[in-house]
Amino acid sequence: MTDRYAIIGNPIAQAKSPALQMAFAKANGQDMEYGAILGEPGQFAEAIRKFQAEGGKGMNITMPFKLDAFEFADELTPRGRAAGAINMFTLRADGTVLGDNTDGFGIVRDITHNLGCQIRGRRVLLLGAGGAVRGTLLPLFAEAPAEVFIANRTASKAAELAQEFGKEAGATKLSGGGFADIPGGYDIIINGSASSMTNDVPPLSPDVWKAAALAYDMAYKKDPTAFVLAAKEAGVKQTADGLGMVVEQGAECFFLWRGIRPDTAPVIAALRAA
């Protein structure tokens, strides 16, 4: 029987996961189908149970259900628990559900594999202190950066997040504060704030940009985001948006479900061209 997978969200028409996963399946000879489910408010659990009862093997979860997924899962991976939100389920044969978050993996994979930018030993600035940044921290620590500073409009939220993850940072120096508290320039600047959704840029001092080899925006649009444009104007050597992250997090889901690491380069190129 053809294995079934799906993404659930509301709205759902804009989701790229069906096209991504079926491209991976075709390229790797996998007998699977991947659909989209429009989730109704208050009916998330019922939709998951129904899909699993019908033989579903796995699901992706998008807004506004990532927190519902966190509460629903029978078991969480360490990175899923750290993120506080879940973007994928593995639906097990015994009826239990494993929740994971592959977003942070996707960011790190895109930076290191696709963009060829080394994180190990470098100074990384994270902008924002919400779920996107939370999900990035553990995969980022695994690359052993020398330092990570979390900057947020509400300085206390960034400081609290740094304190919460202090034990996970290993040898990486981890701290947090407001945008005005950023101590000097950083090699890699990652924007995980909501600023790009409002065509805005976090208020960074010109000195913050000077050392940057890469400015990376988790958001992506048809045209360059305000953050990417600001980075280019500041003279940052390399800039990128989050399209590669979306593809790489989907590839990680495919790997966890099917045991095959798909080649993402053709998919990223096709989406970029479109």
Q: Which residues are annotated as a binding site for NADP(+)?
A: 128-132, 152-157, 218, 242
Binding-site residues, in ranges, read 62, 87, 103, 128-132, 152-157, 218, 220, 242, 249
Place of tokens 């997924």: 69
The CA angle 238-243-244, to the nearest 5 degrees, is 70
For residue 99, give the 3-state DSSP assignment: strand
Cα dist from 4 to 7, 22, 53, 93, whole Å = 11, 11, 11, 13
Residues near 30 by beta carbon (within 8 Å), at least 6 away in sequence = 3, 24, 258, 260
Cα dist from 73 to 24, 251, 255, whole Å = 26, 21, 20
Binding-site residues for shikimate, in ranges, read 62, 87, 103, 220, 249
- Active-site choice (16, 66, 221, 222): 66
- Of the candidates 273, 267, 255, 248, the one whose C-alpha atom is nearest the C-alpha of residue 136 is 248
CB 130 within 8 A of CB 192: yes
Active site residue 232: no
- Of the candidates 14, 85, 8, 100, the one whose C-alpha atom is nearest the C-alpha of residue 51 is 8
Place of tokens 């989907």: 250
For residue 158, give the 3-state DSSP assignment: helix
Burial of 238 (0-12, 13-18, 19+ CB in 10 A): middle
Q: Which amino acid is at 206?
A: P
List, by residue number, the catalytic residues. Answer: 66
